[in-house]
Amino acid sequence: MIETKVDTLIHKPVEVVFAYVRDMTNQTAYNQSIHAVEVKNAEATEYKIQIDLGIFKLNEVYKIEDIIENQAIVASCTANGMKFTDRYEFVKEGNHCRLTISDKMELKGLFQLSEGLVKMNLKSQMTENLNRLKTILESKS
């Protein structure tokens, strides 16, 4: 199991950050691994996503499992060789939002052989994605 956590302070209200992150179609703007996102149901709790992790490419369903308005989102994806769960936590700090993103990834079968490489790249990639998200949100008026 690979566990990775990143966080940053975004100089926008929690409600603004939550609304942007909650719309998973926005991931293509800030997550370099995600090439396409399509809403699959009316509740916007399931998304078809195209992910390119370098070692493998996935076309899977990313499913929101739990939402606590303006506080947390938990979403997961299960593919043949892996499962990952993302937890987004939103904490109000003054007029700003502390966003923490945790990822738990379990590689299965032959994919387990790439665990070391995935672990090394995941933290830096998640940090880059979070910094891109912060820049996008802070540049919005």
Q: What pLDDT, in 10s, does the model give residues 53-89?
A: 766 678 999 999 999 999 999 999 988 778 899 999 9
Domain encompassing residue 101: 2-139
Give the pLDDT of residue 25.
96
CA–CA distances in Å: residue 127 to residues 18, 22, 30, 68, 96: 18, 19, 11, 24, 19
Query: Token digits for 95?
Result: 């007029």
Using the predicted structure, report yes or no on whether residue 16 has a pLDDT greater than 70: yes
State how many domains the chain has: 1
Give the pLDDT of residue 104.
94
Predicted confidence (pLDDT) per residue in 89-132, tens digit: 999 999 999 999 999 988 887 667 667 667 777 888 999 999 99
Give the pLDDT of residue 55.
64
Give the pLDDT of residue 117.
67
Give the pLDDT of residue 123.
86
Predicted confidence (pLDDT) per residue in 1-15, tens digit: 889 999 999 999 999
C-beta neighbour count of 131 within 10 angstroms: 13
Q: What is the DSSP string of 46-100?
A: EEEEEEE-SS-EEEEEEEEEEEETTTEEEEEEEETTEEEEEEEEEEEETTEEEEE
* Closest-CA residue to 105 (of 95, 92, 93, 120): 120
Can you give the CATH number for the domain in which 121 is found?
3.30.530.20
